[in-house]
């Protein structure tokens, strides 16, 4: 099947490459010339594990090409809209400008009977708005197929998804022929696109447009709620003497709750989750659902509050921040990506620098993306070089490289063996055995093995 993918960022590039790996002939369309040239060479302009291999395979087989010309999408049976829907500059709502522009640019190149399928995360009612644009082509069908990719595991999430969701006209009641049970139109086309996944047993949900539009936002809202819940509880643990790691583990044993996303820490960031929950909140407010509006506002506030709390703990450990040498482990918003959009790590690092600390940031992948945007911070690709002379170390992005860092080797490099593990991932007992003071979030000033970690650095010298 010939397929076009409109928009070749994180979502579009991964979707195009995985569709090609399933045997389809795919053309990715994007207006960014540099991005298209990069992808055309078989490499992604961003770091995503496993993606380069898929891009190179698609290039070798000839099943995957990239272009800046929308006319190259002509003749495709299915067109996936994968453009970005960033937060509006004037509100919490989603900016649909790119989605509208892409749809209008695609319109002249749609074949009769083609199916336009949205994958971008959008507010409810977006399909109805796009129908206005596509009304000039009544021979074209529309579907909505929300994405559920996570940066760092996007290739796996595409090849082995938890579920496939089809939003179709009339929802599940009109998805199948009543007499034969055969799938109709959009459902049948998407079944053909995802045949290898369906044959592998991946579950499929067929629903209305409104349900499909809300599924991604609602899923993100629930995940954000779990993260912010356990982070709020971590503050309660610090105030009461409880240990949030033990508490979360015990809570997660209840099958009604589950253990995933009950790990306290610095909180979430990135280009999707924060803006998606704000868009969800704006949708709720627009529909007069104040409970969801208020709830999402609290979730967002708790998440951002973790950053303020981390800076306060750093100040507590230092006595004062001005003039201190501080090393931050991590710049990307999460491990296994080089994406620094709304990075909690860089936010905290910037606040420390604003307080007068001399901050060095290191990261396995994101340094080249970050150094020009944060001129007050010093960046270093080598972890050990970044640690030299540090009076306080903060682990802010839980890369495996930092989880597995030798406390003895690190201890020989720093000036003071004090670490604030804002992701609660270090083996505190091993670090404390090497003379480190370990502080986490939600451990009441204790390391995760319960040893006292209270510390104050010496007062600053006049120098």
Catalytic residues: 272
Whole-angstrom distance, CA of residue 280 vs CA of residue 87: 11
Tell me how far the alpha carbon of residue 349 is from its chain's centroid. 20
122 Cβ neighbours under 8 A, 6+ residues apart = 85, 94, 96, 99, 213
Concatenated DSSP letters of 106-161: HGGGPPTT-EEEE-S---TTHHHHHHHHHTT-TT-EEEE------TTSHHHHHHS-
* In the block, residue with structure tokens 């007499």: 179
Burial class (CB in 10 A: 0-12, 13-18, 19+), 432: buried
- Nearest Cα neighbor of 250 from 240, 239, 238, 237 is 237
Instruction: Determine how many CB atoms are found less than 10 A away from the CB of residue 170.
Output: 10
State the DSSP code for 173: G
- Nearest Cα neighbor of 425 from 296, 263, 302, 191 is 263
Task: Report whether 103 contacts 73 (CB < 8 A).
Answer: no
Alpha-helical regions (H) of 287-382 = 290-318, 344-354, 367-370
What residues pair up with 205 in beta bridges, in sequence order? 165
Tally of helices (H runs) and strands (E runs) in the chain: 18, 14
């Amino acid at each position: 099947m010939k397929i076009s993918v409109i928009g070749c960022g994180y979502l579009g590039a991964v979707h195009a490459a995985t569709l090609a790996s399933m045997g389809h002939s795919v053309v990715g369309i994007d207006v960014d010339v540099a991005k298209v040239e990069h992808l055309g060479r078989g490499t992604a302009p961003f770091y995503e594990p496993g993606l380069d291999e898929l891009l190179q395979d698609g290039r070798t087989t000839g099943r995957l090409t990239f272009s800046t010309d929308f006319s190259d999408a002509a003749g495709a049976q299915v067109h996936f809209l994968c453009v970005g829907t960033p937060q509006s500059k004037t509100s919490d709502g989603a900016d649909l400008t790119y989605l509208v522009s892409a749809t209008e640019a695609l319109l002249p190149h749609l074949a009769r009977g083609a199916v336009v399928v949205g994958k971008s995360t959008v507010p409810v009612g977006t399909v109805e708005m796009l129908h206005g644009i596509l009304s000039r082509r009544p021979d074209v069908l529309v579907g909505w197929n929300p994405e559920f990719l996570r940066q760092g595991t996007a290739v796996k999430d595409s090849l082995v998804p938890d579920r496939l969701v089809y939003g179709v006209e009339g929802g599940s009641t009109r998805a199948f022929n009543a007499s034969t049970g055969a799938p109709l139109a959009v459902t049948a086309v998407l079944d053909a696109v995802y045949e290898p996944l369906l044959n592998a047993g991946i579950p499929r949900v067929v629903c209305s447009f409104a349900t499909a539009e809300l599924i991604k936002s609602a899923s993100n809202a629930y995940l954000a709620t779990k993260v912010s819940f356990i982070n709020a509880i971590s503050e309660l643990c610090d105030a009461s003497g409880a240990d949030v790691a033990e508490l979360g583990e015990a809570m997660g044993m209840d099958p009604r709750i589950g253990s995933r996303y009950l790990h306290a820490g610095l909180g979430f960031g990135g280009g999707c989750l924060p803006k998606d929950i704000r868009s969800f909140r704006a949708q709720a407010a627009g529909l007069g659902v104040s409970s969801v509006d208020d709830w999402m506002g609290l979730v967002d506030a708790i998440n951002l509050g973790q950053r303020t709390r981390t800076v306060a703990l750093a100040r507590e450990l230092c006595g004062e921040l001005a003039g201190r040498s501080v090393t931050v482990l991590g710049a990307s918003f999460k491990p296994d990506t080089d994406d620094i959009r709304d990075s909690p790590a860089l936010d905290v690092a910037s606040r420390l620098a604003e307080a007068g600390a001399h901050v060095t940031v290191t990261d396995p992948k994101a340094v080249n993306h970050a150094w020009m945007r944060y001129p007050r911070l010093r960046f270093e690709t080598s972890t050990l070089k970044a640690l030299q002379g540090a009076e306080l170390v903060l682990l802010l992005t839980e890369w495996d490289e930092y989880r597995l860092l030798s406390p003895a080797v690190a201890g020989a490099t720093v000036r003071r063996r004090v670490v604030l593990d804002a992701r609660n991932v270090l083996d505190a007992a091993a670090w404390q055995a090497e003379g480190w003071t370990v502080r986490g979030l939600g451990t009441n000033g204790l390391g995760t093995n319960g040893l006292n970690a209270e510390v104050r650095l010496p007062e600053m010298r006049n120098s």
